[in-house]
Structure 1
Amino acid sequence: MNLLRQDPAEVTAGGIKWRRHAAEWLTSHAWARWLEPLFIFVGGIGVGIWLLPLIPQAPTTDAIFQQAHTMYAGRLGKPTAEAMHVTLRDKQGHGVIQGLFDSAWLVWLDNPGKLYAIPLEDNGRKFVDKDDTFSMDTTWAYSSAETRKRPSFKGMPTTCLLPAGGFAVSWDKQPNEWKWAGCGKWYCELHGENVLFQDFENGRMIGPMRFGYGDVGSQIFILFKDGSHSSVRSDQASPQIWNCIP
């Protein structure tokens, strides 16, 4: 059709008819059926963005433990909680004790309140894991002189460094659990502000811990739920010594 020759009345009537149909469509529910899926989609995105911070996120392996977890991921499994500091801010003390004995590392953590004896070698012996229910009350702690008089320590040479605090009390009450650790070489309280522990499906990691008395680097202890254990050298700075038992 040649619009230049079209009757102006027809053009006007056609425009009015088109506007009438458009108005009827907009005022009917037909348009809603077309746009409803779009509104639902956009609304769902908005609600999802609003709820995202409220959805619990899966724990992630702390950077301190990443290297060790990569090596033992098959045995440890996924993290079940975020890493936590071993030092409790509302309590006195530095939160961690580490001692080297003939056959074991002795490790005390203020949080979660644990006493460990971790074999130096992977000879099939399981590590000792005890709740520290002794040193919470200082009246339970033995003095150095008193410790040597206890039945469990009477046979040890005077040159042998003995455990202290909760270790001494637990050792005295359950000597068969601890005596294999042998004689102490050094036993120190450490600055534990940067020492963490993290739980996994099949175990726990602790670190960084000292690799020796001198400045010889640090290590990560890996403690499996079946009692087996391992350790990995770490490039993290070792915790500084705060005080040592002579």
Structure 2
Amino acid sequence: MTDWLGPEEWQAVALSLKVSFWATLASLPAGILTAFALARWRFPGRELLNGLVHLPLVLPPVVTGYLLLLTFGRNGALGAPLAELGIVFAFRWTGAALAAAIMGFPLMVRAIRLSIEAIDVKLEQAGATLGASRPFVFLTLTLPLMLPGILAGTILAFAKAMGEFGATITFVSNIPGETRTIPTAIYAFLQVPGGESAAMKLVLVSVAISMLAVLLSEAIGRRIASRIEGV
């Protein structure tokens, strides 16, 4: 495998895994909180929040990337003050992670929200009537029942981050070693004569990683479900 992929291809694979990992990890707490709020809470602006969360699914990815550039670019509304603090997203791998996180966020929230809505509220109420505090009920009952949804949302967000192209190339360009992930590397290889072989190798790697992620999530999901049923 080491000889099968060249340095450029390995660089793209490693960067894709890095970007996808941090994009998923950084968005997970916000994803759980947002899903819980949409599933359980009633507040002014709830439908607006729901629309904003799912907006990246219906917007062209290039539009999302351009909006990120306007917001987090060096001269953007948030990018300029962050740059003064030494935090730069535009044309950096951190920007690629930000774009991937935003594009995968709706899939994560939806999966977690469905798992929360499937929980019988009466179980939580029964725990409360027995004298358990809300945090204790959440940690010992609600959170374990949410785990399959959290797992599914995490895997979906990771897979989406691995395949993100439009928003990434618009926001952070296609810089080798810095922002060139697997999708942008495939695009770059297809633009030069003789690059089809390297592009196909990355396609196969992408398919293998995605399939492995799906199989792993299914296996872990079944184990979690069986443990919950056995409690």
TM-score band, normalised by the shorter chain? under 0.3
**Bigger Rg over Cα:** 1
What TM-score do the two structures reach when normalised by structure 1? 0.21
More helix by share: 2
RCO greater where, 1 or 2, for CA within 8 Å and sep 6 or more? 2
- Compare the two structures and name the one with the higher strand fraction: 1
**TM-score calculated relative to the size of structure 2:** 0.22
